[in-house]
Structure 1
């Protein structure tokens, strides 16, 4: 089932590519803000947030090797590395981030449901902005939180990425803004 020879953090996934491109096209989204790249993998979105002027960036991935890779990629890009954390933030109390970036995190129904609840708490507690990058995987498209997503951008994927991702041709960026309970 796993189509890659490399570990997951070695791949620049389509959702992460879309988020990075969106930040590059819209640097004011993260300029001067505190940013969390959740499930950061290779750290590309965290690196782009730093490049676009984020005041504080945390790259979070439960695989400690992803933090090492993020530091290496930051150095290759001649940037001070972000703070790297391997804590499972999804099961913790929300921290006061202005912006949370999630690329390719909604690949599984159970994880999508857990993320949904945690993101709601982040938004309710800290008024956090949430951006999600995804190429349209079934667990993402079919989840009930999809009604609270607002499409921001769509990007064509390079041919090599299409081949590595079962022929997916584009990836989108969405803003997640849930309706508050009791309000329409």
Structure 2
């Protein structure tokens, strides 16, 4: 593993991908057994290991190391309804592990761009895409700061957990719909989910871990806008 000054360099994609592979296992999310991901089985060890390798404290939680309920629901919905995805250019906001981006490609998308501000998430997405033999492009650019362009399907998996982020995402996807895009959202109605704004397309009972959630089964839905 390549390091800078004895530490893992988050800008070195090869080194980060090696770190992820070494500290996770290839597992299939319970609701989406067709897809394999490099996932952590516990949150604290992978979080501590990330801080140790980076030589920093208070690094962001390793969202990329888990298949969250909203993402699993959204991935399942796309695989079961490929007609909503096939032939489209797709943007995956807040890609995390890349689960929904991979599911979109498997459902027949022409292209998928996965965006995340966490470089570990982008590395995990690239690693997981290769594991599933699909091609997903990635970017760390904050696309929420601009106008939606070039995408006719936008995916939002479990992003309504912080107020400021939820407000930015909502503004962005509403602008995208005004430009003709379809938006699919996987979310168990987190704290800042904008209730009453979206149409419920499907409900799922998603097996999760109590280490991350408040129950072993998390009720999650797929919502659509546009």
Partner residue of 2:74? Answer: 19
Is contact 1:60–1:86 with CA below 8 Å preserved after alignment?
A: yes
Specify whether residues 121 and 106 from structure 1 end up closer, same or farther in structure 2 by C-alpha distance, changes over 3 A only: same
Report the Cα offset of residue 147 of structure 1.
Answer: 2.2
Query: Contact 2:43–2:211 at 8 Å: present in 1 too?
Result: no
Higher helix share: 1
Aligned counterparts of 2:209 and 2:85: Cα–Cα separation in 1: 26
Q: Name stretches of at least 5 consecutive residues in structure 2 with no aligned partner.
A: 1-41, 47-61
State the 1:169 CA deviation.
2.4
- Distance in 2 separating the partners of 1:30 and 1:116: 21
Say whether residues 1:161 and 2:214 are aligned partners: no
For residue 119 of structure 1, the aligned residue among 170, 173, 179 is 173
Change beyond 3 A, Cα 1:163–1:64: closer
For the residue of structure 1 that corresponds to 2:192, the secondary structure is: helix
TM-score (norm 2): 0.70
Q: Which residue of 1 aligns with 2:28?
A: none
1:163 deviates by: 5.2
Per-residue deviation, 1:162: 5.2
Does residue 71 in structure 1 map to residue 110 in structure 2?
A: no
Q: C-alpha displacement at 1:11, in angstroms?
A: 1.0
**In structure 1, which of residues 132, 135, 153 is the aligned counterpart of residue 188 of structure 2?**
135
- Across the aligned residues of Structure 1 and Structure 2, the Cα RMSD in angstroms comes to 1.6
The offset of 1:29, in angstroms, is 0.8
Q: Does residue 4 in structure 1 map to residue 43 in structure 2?
A: yes
Q: Give the Å deviation of 1:24.
A: 0.9
The answer as to whether partners of 1:35 and 1:100 remain within 8 angstroms in 2 is: yes
Which has the greater radius of gyration? 2
Q: Which runs of 4+ in 1 moved over 6 A?
A: none
Contact 1:162 1:169 in 2 (8 A): no
Count of equivalent residues:
168
> Greater relative contact order (Cα 8 A, min sep 6): structure 1 or 2?
1
Provide the residue aligned with 2:136 in structure 1: 82
Q: Secondary structure at the match of 1:94?
A: coil
Tell me the secondary structure at the aligned position of residue 148 of structure 1.
coil
User: d(CA) in 2 for partners of 1:164 and 1:66?
Assistant: 18
